[in-house]
Structure 1
């Protein structure tokens, strides 16, 4: 083949390649046009399908939500009637005590209390006996704030805070008045020592007072003072005062409050206000979301229409330019024309996916508002909880004592203000920094540093505490102290901490005597390792079983109450006294939280613990449906739930009406749009959301049972009483099984 033939062959190959590219380009452009048509057809079908499903929801889901609302209203009406009867019984008792349900009576009680002039041990005992039951009742009212109007809930909370503040003020003032007259109020063990020990309801109060003696002539060589060890057996606390404290005139108050009167004033205690739409029902949520999806789809279609209208106009303009110059090839115009044939509008994704993304961003913003920034040493009270009461150890100045005169006349110096004055003692200890990398210290240097540390430790007070047995210590507590000026709990002054797991004791040194708290992680039992809901085989109740990280808890819901059936793997006998006793759900939550067995995550818990966050309307509705079906079905957790996303709840389900013929568990996926049984199982190698064949459309779990369940299961559901349904529903809302398993 000569050069001319090669050139002709090359030109022929190039022309064939160009023709092939033109054919491929034309096919690609035709395919793009067909794809646009197919996508438009799919969008139209999806919109029509959404509209058809929404019509079904209007008929079925709306009725279901109305049924749920009617049961909730019945429960609230029952609670209100019960409260009215209790108000009447309180009125008939006529015992002179206010009824905390009536805000005016509680306000009058507070006013009279503030104006009173009696400040003694008997007065403190009376106030503790009267106030603590009132506070307990008000705590329940505040926990059920959604049962009252916003103004009522605010009034109850205001009275509760005022009672707590006044009780704390009374304790402080009574302590001052007791120290004002040591001879009358305290027990003298010698001319140098007097003590006081008394137990009130929810309070243990102790004083150790070294009475100041006349100043003696100093010795030529003063002996080194010995540290004084003070033991308070009623509180199970021992304090060793350092040598730097003058024990010859020291006054120590040791008190233990079973009620935490401090934490609530901290800025990290309160939960950020939840968005109001979190409590809307599933039907309202779907109506709102359907309207938003439809509106966004219409906007997108208008955007597409305008976009292709502009593209069509530009194509017509470019074609005119090319035809006007047929003898000159306009490569730029041809390339632009080719690009326009394939151009698509940008930023027009799935409308529902966009709305889901916006909801996730809103929740992330809420968690950001809940996640408080803390100072060095400060603990976040949304992450930790103070358990086992507050231990207050104060080093005080002894007030001037009365001088006895003739004719029963006493003369006393009254320094102002008339309140307890702390003795000056504050030592800031900082641990020595480790040696630089690569530096080896000699044994003499190490020994010298240890002696220096021991010398610094001798300046600190040593505190030894036997941990209370009514708290479940699943891990070492964090010892914190209350910093009154900043209203926070801090660990800055706690050093040399030691925890004995076998004896359940803690020991530490501190350079300042402030109120002491034992903080535990709120959600140390989360996320759940498993859960189970099934009918009680021996009665007409419902069993709820939850397996946490450390313990397994079982409840029995019967009528309007819940019982704690068992707790396994507990480290202390905490909560044993509450086994098989009837409580309301809110009361059960309070009891278990005080025992550091908190399996009731708040709405901000996802900021502190891993979980599978679920859309609030979907989660609440699903819990309500599970409560209705709890006597007919057995529900269990599924390992596929974590990765299912916020719009899907995956769990195992089977009928449990006939205990002799129980079937196998099947996976069910409950989303904001529908409930479907899945082909895959719990033991499948991978998860698939493909439903079983012949599955009809069911808007939610409740309507799924109405058409898919057996006649016995449907009969059990219709026979459910509102008390049991609402009790199970309330417990599931508190535990939040689907969001943390």
Structure 2
């Protein structure tokens, strides 16, 4: 039985043919998988080795190219600097000669107007006009045109004269003259207003019994209404042709008053605001902490000067106080904000500067610690009241509306063929509203109805049409002038209604204020994209796709013009479009009409920007302007990903007028160290700084293209008009396309 059992077991272990084939097949599959895996492993190892070899070769090639670039850097930078400086110095020399010619022509001008840069002439002009008794409105309007031209001349000198040709004492003199001209201009308009009101009865409307008159010229609109009939049912006055109206509170309908709406198409108030100027941090000077206790006590006891600066006496600033040269002939001057006026010998406040600004004495270079502290000066955040307008964030547009309630002067009376009029020595007198007298009169009418009410007089209603030469990209805001604090504020204004279709604005104020329209300065920042392309020889077109509008600026030699605005309503900016101007004039004109694409030094506080190294950014603008006669430049989305030290933009050679095709653009990355062409395109999935095949590192864009660009392009660059290169550079620096796009 045992033998039979073993035989059966052996017989049971015998595999069938199918099983043997299955096992054989599985073995073959296992061996095949092992072979495949081994082959894949060997292939991966080979690919990894090849990748490492490629990386090693690429690294070696990159190092070789970097070494080559470093070897050529000094020569390339020297050649680049010679090219750029040659253009800019030639442009500077031409501008200097042109300024000298303008100055000489101004000196030789014999049109009867004074030279505002000569104190004797301008002071004589101001004093003679101030003493003049001719206050006829026509005479005042004619004279005001001359005054506005003189103010423009001084503002031009301040903004366009380089520091090497305009010292601080001259700049201070110009600012003081501007303030004095603005002051005497308003004085004369007030005198002319009083002169007209003294003859209101002769100009009265026979039907209404009121005097209504409107004076219009290119600079102002004067709407004047006099309450001659004193009808308590009077509601308000509508100067329909000028789209200006007001609603008079009932208590004023029986008063001897007049209402003046004087719309000046300029703003002579904002420059009096402390928020108009960039804020600076107060940096203590060396030795200032050593002021003795008696000086500190005296300083604390002295009242703070926060009011207007007119009429206050200030010690004269001598030449030694504004210019103190050390043994090496080097001086350092700076402006700082001081909360209080220091003792004489510490700092001096100029009457022409805004409140809080002081001129710090020049500091000897040997005092390195003081110099270091001044170099660390930075902007200081200021906490403003909620209703105070920050003029670093908002801009006034369309000028200023002087909305005044004035006392009606005594009117002439006819007695037995004689005209008798009472003459008052005072000037134009303003009528207080609200006043206690009016409140008492109002409370006595129906006292039983006011037992549980606050005796507040009704507000004043105003309706105006938005100026036609200004662009508003959102509903405008109204700001009123606070004469005590010398600032614009948004309080005391209610019931604001904006008719967008007819561009009419209605609102109420609790009294009569000067008011203006304000808009966010940075509505069109950051930009969506931009493009600079050559158009013809010494011509280019700069297009900025701003947040709400597309702007095209044409550049020709040393002038530029606003070509078109996509998004503009009803051709509102026809006054400045198509007119050739200098870059500075175009910048000013565009800001004045509400199209601001020109960042200020503190704009970064209000706009999200792409922070870039300033030296690299400025160097990029210089090289772009140098190459602009033959190369186009454009925005790249990779500029955001490139980091702080690198700038990425699209570049293409372009010698014919017209647009640049997408296929012609290539990407280039700029830094303070070198320039390189990128391997990626604008449509790549991710950013990489890999060098494009067949390209090399260079120290500048000019040398990047010097060997690969056409001879025509290089000739255009070398022969370009220096004034054209300088004009392009001014616009690029003003718009800052590389950081605000």
TM-score, structure 2 length as denominator? 0.70
Q: Deviations over 1:308-342 (max 9, x none)?
A: xxxxxxxxxxxxxxxxxxxxxxxxxxxxxxxxxxx
1:568 to 2:555 alignment? no
The normalised TM-score by structure 1 is 0.70
* 1:169 maps to 2:196: no
SS at match of 1:129: helix
CA distance in 1, matches of 2:656, 2:461: 63
Aligned to 1:125: 141
Name 2:578's counterpart in structure 1. 580
- Matched with 1:656 is 654
CA deviations on 1:176-232 (whole Å, 9 max, x unpaired) are 343344346x4454694223322244112121111277xxxxxxxxxx944512112
Deviations 1:644-691 (A, max 9, x none): 334322111111137899763111111122211112221111212233
Q: 2-side partners of 1:516 and 1:253: how far apart?
A: 13
Whether the 8 Å CA contact 1:556–1:564 is kept in 2: the answer is yes
Which moves more between the two structures, 52-61 or 701-710?
A: 52-61
Aligned CA distance change for structure 1 residues 192 and 496 (closer, same or farther; 3 Å): same
Cα deviations by residue, 1:544-574 (Å, 9 ceiling, x for unpaired): 1111111111111011111221111113422
User: Aligned with 1:482: secondary structure?
Assistant: strand
- Which of 417, 434, 458 is the matching residue for 1:425? 434
* Aligned mate of 2:211, from 194, 197, 205: 194
Question: How far apart, in 2, do the equivalents of 1:471 and 1:133 lie?
Answer: 21
In the alignment, the residues of structure 1 paired with residue 562 and residue 589 of structure 2 have an alpha-carbon distance, to the nearest angstrom, of 11
* 2:686 match: secondary structure: coil
Distance 1:398 1:200 in 2: 25
User: Given that residues 540 and 555 in structure 2 are in contact (C-alpha distance below 8 angstroms), is that contact kept between their aligned partners in structure 1?
Assistant: yes
User: How far apart are 1:380 and its partner, in Å?
Assistant: 0.8
1:673–1:700 CA contact under 8 A, matched in 2: no
1:267 match: 274
Partner of 2:305: none
Secondary structure, aligned partner of 1:557: strand
| Residue 330 (structure 2) aligns with | none
Residue of 541, 547, 572 corresponding to 1:543: 541
Task: Show the counterpart of 2:516.
Answer: 517
Q: Give the conservation status (yes or no) of the 8 Å contact 2:412–2:419.
A: no
Map 1:220-235; keep pairs closer than 5 Å: 225-226=232-233, 228-233=235-240, 235=242
Query: What SS class does the counterpart of residue 424 from structure 1 fall into?
Result: coil
Question: Is 1:375 the equivalent of 2:385?
Answer: yes
Q: After TM superposition, give the deviation of residue 50 of structure 1 in Å.
A: 11
| SS of equivalent residue, structure 1 residue 617 | helix
1:638 corresponds in structure 2 to 636
Q: Write out per-residue CA displacement over residues 397-432 of structure 1, whole angstroms, 9 at most, x where no aligned residue.
A: 22344667789785635365x3422332289xxxxx
Q: Which runs of structure 2 are paired with 1:196-595 in the superposition (5 Å)?
A: 196-211=213-228, 225-226=232-233, 228-233=235-240, 235-272=242-279, 366=378, 368-369=379-380, 371-401=381-411, 410=420, 412=422, 414=424, 416=426, 418-425=427-434, 459-536=458-535, 540-595=538-593
Distance of aligned partners of 1:364 and 1:498 in 2 relative to their CA distance in 1, 3 Å threshold: farther
Partner of 1:679: 679
Looking at structure 1, the residues matched to 668 and 652 of structure 2 have their Cα atoms a distance apart, in angstroms, of: 10
Measure how far apart 1:727 and its partner are: 1.1
* Bigger mean CA deviation after superposition, 136-145 or 488-497: 136-145
Corresponding residue of 1:314: none
Q: Which runs of 5+ in 2 are unaligned?
A: 1-64, 283-373, 437-452
Report the secondary structure of 1:146's partner residue. coil
Structure 1 residues 364 and 83, CA gap change in structure 2 (3 angstroms): closer
Residue 87 of structure 2 is aligned with which of 56, 67, 71?
Answer: 71
In 1, the alpha carbon distance for the partners of 2:254 and 2:727 equals 57
Distance 1:109 1:655 in 2: 56
Quote the Cα distance in structure 1 between the aligned partners of 2:500 and 2:375: 39
Residue of structure 2 equivalent to 1:150: 167
Question: For 1:371-409, what per-residue CA distance to the aligned partner results, in whole angstroms no more than 9, with x for missing partners?
Answer: 543212111111111111211211222234466778978
**What is the aligned residue count?**
569
Q: Is the 8 A contact 1:574 1:595 kept in 2?
A: no
CA distance, structure 1, for counterparts of residue 598 and residue 120 of structure 2: 33
Is the 2:641–2:687 contact (alpha carbons within 8 Å) kept by the matching residues of 1? no
Task: Give, in angstroms, the shift of residue 605 of structure 1.
Answer: 1.0
Change (3 A) 1:422 1:70: farther
Structure 1 counterpart SS, 2:670: strand
Question: In proportion to residue count, which structure has more helix?
Answer: 1
Q: Distance in 2 between matches of 1:58 and 1:75?
A: 25
User: Residue 182 and residue 674 in structure 1: after superposition, are their counterparts in 2 closer, same or farther (change >3 A)?
Assistant: same
Q: Hey, what does 1:302 align to over in structure 2?
A: none
Instruction: Using the TM superposition, give the Cα deviation of residue 620 of structure 1 relative to its aligned residue in structure 2, in angstroms.
Output: 2.4
Deviates more, 1:114-123 or 1:637-646: 114-123
Distance (Å, rounded) in 2 between the aligned partners of 1:72 and 1:420: 56
Task: Tell me the CA shift for residue 271 of structure 1.
Answer: 2.9
Asked if structure 1 preserves the Cα contact closer than 8 Å seen for 2:237 and 2:247, the reply is yes
Structure 1: 5+ residue stretches without partners: 1-48, 214-223, 276-361, 428-453
Structure 1 equivalent of residue 727 of structure 2: 727
Change (3 A) 1:402 1:79: farther
Q: Does the 8 Å CA contact 1:228/1:247 hold for their aligned counterparts?
A: no
Measured after TM superposition, the shift of residue 506 of structure 1 is 1.4
Q: What's the CA shift string for 1:290-318, capped at 9, x where partnerless?
A: xxxxxxxxxxxxxxxxxxxxxxxxxxxxx
Structure 1 distance, partners of 2:720, 2:148, is 37
Asked if the contact 1:426–1:511 (Cα under 8 Å) also holds between the matched residues in 2, the reply is: no
Is the 1:555–1:564 contact (alpha carbons within 8 Å) kept by the matching residues of 2? yes
Report what 2:609 is aligned to: 611
Report the more deviating stretch, 132-141 or 687-696.
687-696
Cα RMSD of the aligned pairs, angstroms, is 3.6
Give 1:36-51 correspondences, 5 Å limit: none
1:517-567: CA deviations, max 9, x gaps?
010111211111111111116x65101111111111111101111122111
Instruction: Quote the Cα distance in structure 1 between the aligned partners of 2:88 and 2:417.
Output: 71
Distance 2:581 2:200 in 1: 45
Q: Is the 8 A contact 1:472 1:572 kept in 2?
A: no
C-alpha spacing 1:596/1:190, structure 2 compared with 1 (3 Å): same
Change in CA separation of 1:403 and 1:613 when aligned onto 2, cut-off 3 Å: farther
- The 2-side partners of 1:54 and 1:363 are apart by 32
